[in-house]
Amino acid sequence: MSIEVKNVFKYYGEQAALNDVSFNINSGEIIGFLGPNGAGKSTMMKIITCFIPKSSGEVKVCGIDVEDDPIAVKRKVGYLPEHNPLYLDMYVKEYLSFVAGIYKIKNKKERVQEMISLVGLDKEQNKKIGALSKGYRQRVGLAQAIIHDPEVLILDEPTSGLDPNQLVDIRQLIIDIGKTKTVMLSTHIMQEVEAICDRVIIIKEGKIVADNTTEGIQHREQEKQTIFVEFDQVVSKNQLKQINGVTTVQNIEGNKWLFETTGDIRADIGKYAQQNNLLTLTMRLEEKSMEEVFKELTRN
């Protein structure tokens, strides 16, 4: 197991930013840590990376307790903080050498060069970090996070503030790096989870509200379906309600209806139409996006 979090609480004064949080992350997984602003994502990540202490509970990284041996944990973990605090006056190469020095990396020069080409900073390596675009600064942030070849990568909103092209590049880079590491990345962008992650853990107000595979979470919510139907003639709402699996029926206009159902009951609706000499001009299962699933799980 790469990350074990058990019954963790974190209080800022009176406020519980984390309220009995538990989850496990297996080695090699890419996990999306999803939640609205203020949910507790950064707090959880800072605890895993030994930047702040928890109030209670247990956290282990690669089997090492964060309280017993924070230095050993930091050796295993690469961390890209939310507001990537880079030294803007340093040159890219100089900064990465400085970080390599902190980790006492042996072949410093080679390793820095290796990182520079891995994250695609060859052309920018002699520039000051302050002169780089946000996308390139994130590459520097990723390079510093992996320079000591950690087993686990913790990325706090790694794509926030990037333009669409940068976003695609950084996501691809995370996918590539993630092939050989355990990755936990926080985001509030649903498509990101779909694009990158094997599993998603959703947090809301300091509590875990879902923990499932990316497909599983969409599927689970899809037991509640929405089906749009247009008949060729007038039908009574009471009759439509009788169809097996219908939770609610709503008339949109004319002969257009919206069914809330348990499961995909299009065949039952079709059969009903046939038995009552109705034609279905349109029948459509409204697919739920990850975005809608997220909204359903995190709204009050």
204 contacts ligand ADP (rule: CB under 6 A): no
Q: Residue 81 or 150: which CB sits closer to ligand ADP?
A: 81
37 binds, among Mg ion, ligand ADP, none (CB under 5 to 8 A by kind): ligand ADP
Number of residues that bind ligand ADP (CB under 6 A): 10
Compute the least distance from the CB of residue 38 to Mg ion, in Å: 8
54 contacts ligand ADP (rule: CB under 6 A): no
17 contacts ligand ADP (rule: CB under 6 A): yes
Compute the least distance from the CB of residue 52 to ligand ADP, in Å: 8
Site pattern 90..109 for ligand ADP (x: CB under 6 A): --------------------
8 A C-beta contact, residue 86 and residue 129: yes
| Token pair listed for 22 | 């538990």
Calpha distance 65→299 (Å, rounded): 34
SS3 28: coil
Compute the least distance from the CB of residue 17 to Mg ion, in Å: 10
Contact pick of 7, 12, 224, 242 for ligand ADP (by CB under 6 A): 12
Q: Which DSSP string do the residues of 73-113 spell out, in sequence order? A: HHHHEEEE-TT----TTSBHHHHHHHHHHHTT-SSHHHHHH
Q: Residue 28 or 57: which CB sits closer to ligand ADP?
A: 57
The shares of helix, strand and coil residues in the chain, as percent rounded to the nearest 5, are 35, 30, 30
Q: Residue 17 or 269: which CB sits closer to ligand ADP?
A: 17
Please state whether 79 falls in left (phi above 0), alpha (psi between -120 and 50) or beta: beta
| Residue number, nearest CB to Mg ion | 42
63 binds, among Mg ion, ligand ADP, none (CB under 5 to 8 A by kind): none
Q: Which of residues 31-50 bind ligand ADP (CB under 6 A)?
A: 35, 37-43
Q: Which long-range contacts (CB under 8 A, 24 or more apart) does 217-224 make?
A: 217/290, 217/293, 218/288, 218/290, 218/293, 221/288, 221/292, 221/293, 221/296, 221/297, 222/288, 223/262, 223/263, 224/260, 224/261, 224/262
Q: Residue 129 or 185: which CB sits closer to Mg ion?
A: 185
- Residues near ligand ADP, by CB under 6 A: 12, 17, 35, 37-43
